[in-house]
Amino acid sequence: MLDNFKKEKADFLKKRDKSKKGSIDKDAVKIVSEINSKDNYYTTSICSGRIVLLEMKSKRKDKCIWLFVKHDKVKTDEILKCLQQCHKNKKILNGQHLKFFSSEIWFKQQPIILHVACRNIDAAKTLLDTARKLFKHSGIIGITDKKVVVEIIGSERIETILADKNFVADKIFIKNLIKHANKNFAENKRKSEVLLNLLKSELFSL
């Protein structure tokens, strides 16, 4: 009898990575490999977590310019340097303030987000029962006759505007922002490592 899920899984995993980065985050490789080694699951997308700066030309996503992205902790100087480089005048006022920008500049610290195709609802429930021990907002985001798609997502996140045409955050604010973002990033990484161990354990029933 033809195993449609197995075939779909094989076909999907052969596809080229179409993400902006074009490859799996190094901190996500082990989780992806562990999930894909199981008959009832395969990963369709993952971001292990990241810190980004975005220039928002408008509310449309396709008008968003990625100024900075790092899948790890960041230093205050990295963010300040990026802000200087993306501003046409590249000047700092009073040693703290950057000159105003023509567009909104947003800082985002984002947690892990993982989409997993599951063979059936029972497989999805097993994965969710495991994931929700750490990631409470995880849930089912799609159900078809071929598969059930589960989203595992962290809750540690920060999103705030840093500058626009009328203001710009000062160095003290940015430094404090980075401190909290890095703290969140570390917690996100810790939970991801625990999830990997749970997926490897006998408690995770196939």
Please write the tens of the pLDDT for every residue from 129-182. Answer: 999 999 999 999 999 988 999 999 999 999 999 988 888 888 999 999 999 999
Asked if residue 74 has pLDDT above 80, the reply is yes
At residue 96, the pLDDT reads 47
Cβ atoms of residues 74 and 182 within 8 Å: yes
Which residue, among 175, 182, 162, has the nearest Cα to 56 in the 3D structure?
A: 162
Going from N- to C-terminal start, the domains of the chain cover: 4-9+19-200
- 4-9+19-200, what's its fold? SSo0622-like fold (3.30.1960)
Sign, Cα dihedral of 179, 96, 87, 63: positive
pLDDT at 24 over 70: no
Which residue's entry shows tokens 């993400």? 19
Angstrom distance (rounded) from CA 192 to CA 198: 10
Percentage of the residues of the chain whose pLDDT score is greater than 70: 82
Residue closest to 152 by CA, chosen among 171, 170, 134, 176: 134
pLDDT of residue 65: 85
| pLDDT higher than threshold 50 for residue 30 | yes
